[in-house]
Amino acid sequence: MRFHGALLFVSLLTVVTVPRVVHAQFPPVPKEELTMTADPKAPGAAAVYLYREETEDDPHAFRTIYARIKVLTEAGKSAAVVHINYPKTFVFNAVGTNSSRMATGNSNSWDAPSLNHLGEDQPWDTDSYVGKVEIGALEGRVIHPDGTIVPLTGKPSELLKATKGTRGSETSFTMPGVEVGSVIEYRYQVRYDRYLTAPDWKLQKEYFIHKEHFVFRPSKQFLPQQSKDVGAGDSALKDPHDNILTDIRFKPVLPAGKTLITDAMGNYVIDLTDVPPIPQETYAPPLTDQAYSVDFFYTYTPDVKDYWQKQMGFWTRALNAYTAPTQTLQNAVKEFVSQSDSPVDKAKKLYDVAQKIENTDSSPDGAPLTGSEFIPRGKVESVLLNKKGSSNQIAFLYLALMRTAGISARPERIASRSLRIFSAQFMDNIQLDTVLIGLQIDGKEILVDPGTSMAPFATLHWAHAGAGGVAMDANNKAQIIITPLQKNTDNSTLHVGTIDVSPQGAVSGTLKIGFIGQRGIELRQLGVRSGVEAVKSEIDAMIAQQVPSGINAAVDHIVYLDDPSKQLLAVISVTGSLSKSANGRIELPRNFFEAQERNPFPETPRELPIDMRYPAQEQEQITYTVPPGYTLEATPKDSTLKWEENAAYQVHTKIEGSSITEARILARGFTLLDPKDYGQLHDFYQKVVAADQQTLALSAAQASKLQ
């Protein structure tokens, strides 16, 4: 029902040139808005929305967006950049030829499209179809506190700018002459003639909202008879699989006591006042499931099981055709595995083949830019032959190789936790962005993530662990699944090595940092994108914020950057000087890499759940070689901390001859925490910081203590 990103990507730069609408057509701005210098409802706010309005008119296939914003500080001037909100759901309701119905680039008017032609050119061939979405009626102005007006001028094609964002292409325009105290006012339309689109309303923004009004007028078949347009066609609303869409549903995340209403005309309406800004908190879960919103969708059945059974049936048939065995696949299996290999060895060797394919849409957040719904034309062998493909195409290739090798394998479609939490009741395939492959070997399932670049065999990207989704069981019945969560030992950072200390307090040595799991994946992906020097710089920046001041710690070289089956290792060269008092006393940090540590969870109120992405552990074993004649003034106490099943900490000192070895481990077992547990989280880490910040004092006056 929602089409793949390629359709939307091509449409982003399509605009309609219409005459500039002069600023006088906006209503007068109240004096109190112009003179406002601060907002008592939003103390300290950089900017506030005075009013927002969005109208989605599916019978006429366009959306209108309006906003009025007050800039209160220098930081608020960033509101001058307006990001276009494109529709994400497209369905079609006719077959025909509508290619000449859209406005031309030199159109001098903005007319509602004819209902008689709405939905024509239905793209059953979605792989080659190029959709067209237009931005028009773009107008705006900036009003300064003294009443001076700066109009938005220029053609939409000149004003709209496309840039590469983290989730693909982004389109924006910039309001002119914005100053502190300005009121920004704009409106624009998004037109999608030949489409219908159920909106996804974003009701909460980065700024406080005084008032907002949202209206959705759905497809004519869902409207009361008396409100339908005269002359409207009777063509049925269908999804890409020719299912007639008979129902409209929505997924609301609303303030307490607020509900969506349906008026007498069949429109869905919501009005909100005094909407707080989206909380800006570290370690926050994806805002898709936290910020106020309403997500609508058309569906052909209200039955959840029926919906997913049919959707997975359509998808599985298409995928089976795409991944069917071919001579090319059979030759590849013969080339890379032998008959004597065990099933696990075959799976690993063919996994390496898939991992060597150039990934064209890999994303650090684990969510591919092209969702799992899109299955290309042709055969998956083209990915192998071309040596490149999208994340999910690589997963499809691995599925085909496994089946060709005689290993039982099934695709599992999931929603990446970095973007959203899967909801079976939200009957829309757009949730399922990623495909994992489940292998049945020796009676056990091994879940692999071939579409994640540089992921070791049987290691999932963190966004794919503990993620919900849908898969077909052995009887071809759709089942809701949740992938296994990871353990803290799956994601480890290890620090080991020896540091020599001179009588003058100078230090030198070679340390090693090992990365296992998610941090290793991130660094290796950086290496693929930007090369080894970028990885060195990343690690250098990380350790510069950890080691004591006066110390120069830099990566000398990196080992196994290109081999995810092994531990990624950074070899660190350490030089510099530590503090030495006038009487010759030398102070060493008890835990070398925690010298600058701060509590990552400050003592502040918490609104959102805490999302740490994945469990993890840190291990450190650093040995100081003490200069002759120096000894430890006092041995620090060993510490052990435990917070239920959530986290544990231990630090231990061992003295042997002229060496002092500090061993530390911090294990965090949780991924998500409720906001009510934030206080305990803060308290635990405060104790960890206190234990880590102890120092080792060396003195030449008590040499016998190290004998």
| pLDDT value for 98 | 37
| Local structure of 584: helix, strand or coil | coil
Ramachandran region, residue 550 (left: φ > 0; alpha: ψ -120 to 50; beta: rest):
left
pLDDT per residue as tens digits for the range 204-251 = 999 999 999 999 999 888 887 644 554 444 456 777 788 888 889 999
Q: Alpha-carbon distance 552 to 234, whole Å? A: 74
**Whole-number mean pLDDT of the chain?**
87
Q: At what angle are helices 327-336 and 391-404 packed, to 10 degrees?
A: 80
> Is the pLDDT assigned to residue 111 strictly greater than 60?
no
Place of tokens 């494109």: 86
**More confident site: 419 or 114:** 419
> Is the pLDDT assigned to residue 80 strictly greater than 90?
yes
Confidence tier at 640 by pLDDT (50, 70, 90): very high
**Among residues 371, 335, 377, 342, which one has the least CA distance to residue 356?**
335
Are the beta carbons of 196 and 56 closer than 8 angstroms? no
Among the four given CATH numbers 2.60.40.3140, 3.20.20.80, 2.70.98.60, 2.60.40.420, the one describing domain 5-299: 2.60.40.3140
| pLDDT value for 14 | 42
> Is the pLDDT assigned to residue 390 strictly greater than 80?
yes
Beta bridge partners of 63: 56, 190
CA atoms within 13 A on the CB side of 173: 27
Confidence tier at 187 by pLDDT (50, 70, 90): very high
> Is the pLDDT assigned to residue 2 strictly greater than 70?
no
> Is the pLDDT assigned to residue 124 strictly greater than 50?
no
Nearest 5°: the CA angle 244, 248, 249 is: 135
Confidence tier at 103 by pLDDT (50, 70, 90): very low
Confidence tier at 195 by pLDDT (50, 70, 90): low
Are the beta carbons of 554 and 573 closer than 8 angstroms? yes
Residue type, 580: K
Q: Which range is least confidently modeled, 31-35, 190-194, 446-450?
A: 190-194
**More confident site: 170 or 409:** 409
Q: Does domain 488-706 have CATH number 3.30.470.10?
A: no
Q: Alpha-carbon distance 377 to 557, whole Å? A: 44
Q: Which range is least confidently modeled, 115-129, 204-218, 329-343, 489-503?
A: 115-129
pLDDT per residue as tens digits for the range 519-555 = 999 999 999 999 999 999 999 999 999 999 999 999 9
pLDDT per residue as tens digits for the range 51-73 = 999 999 988 888 899 999 999 99
pLDDT per residue as tens digits for the range 545-576 = 999 999 999 999 999 999 999 999 999 999 99
How large is the average pLDDT for residues 413-438?
94
Q: Alpha-carbon distance 183 to 15, whole Å? A: 26
> Is the pLDDT assigned to residue 29 strictly greater than 50?
yes
| pLDDT value for 166 | 62
> Is the pLDDT assigned to residue 319 strictly greater than 90?
yes
Q: In the chain, pLDDT over 70 holds for what percent of residues?
A: 86
Domain locations in the chain?
Answer: 5-299, 304-482, 488-706
Backbone angles phi, psi at 697, to 5 degrees: -95, 120
Where are the extended beta strands (E) located within 225-357? 247-253, 261-262, 268-275, 293-299
Confidence tier at 315 by pLDDT (50, 70, 90): very high
Q: Alpha-carbon distance 253 to 409, whole Å? A: 37
What kind of architecture, by CATH, is found in domain 304-482?
Answer: Roll (3.10)
**Among residues 530, 544, 532, 491, which one has the least CA distance to residue 514?**
491
Confidence tier at 610 by pLDDT (50, 70, 90): very high
| pLDDT value for 132 | 62
The gap from C-alpha 703 to its chain's centroid, in whole angstroms, comes to 56
> Is the pLDDT assigned to residue 703 strictly greater than 70?
no
Q: Which range is least confidently modeled, 33-37, 232-236, 324-328, 367-371?
A: 232-236
